[in-house]
Amino acid sequence: MFFKKIVVVSILFLAFEYLNAQDSTYARYIVNSLASPQFKGRGYVENGDCDAALFIEEEMKKCGLEAVSKSRLQPFTVSVNTFPGTMMVAVDSDTLVPGTDYLVDASSPSCRGSFEIIRTTRADLRNDDDLYKLLSASENKFILIDESGDLKENKEEKEKAEGIIEAIINQKNIPCSGIIRYGQAKLTWGVSQEQRLKPCLFILKQGYKNNYHTIDINIESRLIKKYKTANVTGMVTGTAAPDSFIVVAAHYDHLGKMGRDVYFPGANDNASGVAMMLSLASYFSKNKPRISMLFIALGAEELGILGSRYYVSHPLLPL
């Protein structure tokens, strides 16, 4: 079949007028379900994203969407660094709370041991003499970079400091054991496709006292080079122009878990978008549109819009 046209529409710009109180109740059910502990943050620990994909597939069936191909799932593989097990950080006698006091950089490797802390500032990192002294004294130690004050960096200074931090984390010839970035006003996590050589911790400003001298750390990470995930698809055939399509898409994955106890619900990112998409799918499966509609729940967006990239490279309908 020759497909005349595909129109891509962002989930955020579709008309809300189609949704009534019943749809609002359904949308709330979808958000609460996807953001619940059952789906483990819809990430890559304990197959949280896969469970979410199966849930969405079942909801598409209930909505009455037609299958685009033999399977509603469009599988693909990704590389992802995960934190499936132990997550313990203590400074001196204080055990920090993961997700509340600190986050582990998403590309961190496993690390276990007790280490002395040496302090520096971003300004010292940019000074060649100070940097040399710091690195020379850093063997088997964690470098704490104090970022709590007003940094007053211009673009060039910021780029230099970040480049040095990146080099410390990822170069074998630098002898430190890891980095602590202290003074974060807000903790924001992500996911990573790679695993670097040394761990990096982000400690919230309120979660730190100035007299810390040692860090005890036990972090378990696992790099999965071919993790299987999937996009989820369904469609409604149009009454007047079945060979033209409006595409409605929303990513369903989120950040998953950091250790055994911390998960990131992702209600606004993007369970709410999936809820809107499924609400529209339910409406249009009962009220057939003139133009066909393709619904896609996209995977691996947090890893770099990989689900979108995969679909564009392997379209189920001609682009």
**What does the pLDDT profile of the chain (319 residues) look like in tens digits?**
444 445 444 443 444 455 565 578 999 999 999 999 999 999 999 999 999 999 999 999 999 999 999 999 999 999 999 999 999 999 998 899 999 999 999 999 999 999 999 999 988 999 999 999 999 999 999 999 988 876 788 899 999 999 999 999 999 999 999 999 998 778 999 999 999 999 999 998 775 565 679 999 999 999 999 999 999 999 999 999 999 999 999 999 999 999 999 999 999 999 999 999 999 999 999 999 999 999 999 999 999 999 999 999 999 998 8
One-letter amino acid for residue 188 of the chain: T
- Residue 125 shares a structural domain with residue 208: yes
Does 298 fall in a domain?
Answer: yes
Tell which residue, 31, 39, 71, 14, has the closest CA to residue 263: 39
- Residue 233 shares a structural domain with residue 214: no
- Residue 128 shares a structural domain with residue 202: yes
- Residue 100 shares a structural domain with residue 210: yes
Give the pLDDT of residue 20. Answer: 60
Residue after which a domain boundary falls, among 219, 237, 263 = 219
**Which residue range is the domain that position 163 belongs to?**
86-219
- Residue 181 shares a structural domain with residue 275: no
Is the pTM higher than 0.75? The answer reads: yes
Give the pLDDT of residue 10. Answer: 43
Tell which residue, 272, 248, 225, 213, has the closest CA to residue 34: 272
- Tokens 């009220």 correspond to 287
**CATH code of the domain covering residue 117:** 3.50.30.30
Give the pLDDT of residue 1. Answer: 42
- 55: part of which helix (H) or strand (E)? helix 48-63
DSSP 8-state code for residue 172: T
Q: Taking the CA of residue 251 as centre, how many other CA atoms within 13 Å lie in the half-sphere pointing to its CB?
A: 23
Contact assessment for residue 247 and residue 294, using Cβ atoms and an 8 Å cutoff: yes
Q: Residue 9: helix, strand or coil by DSSP?
A: strand
Residue after which a domain boundary falls, among 219, 243, 269 = 219
- Please state, in angstroms and as integers, the Cα–Cα distance from residue 205 to each residue in 44, 105, 143, following that order: 29, 16, 16
- Residue 135 shares a structural domain with residue 68: no
- Residue 228 shares a structural domain with residue 215: no
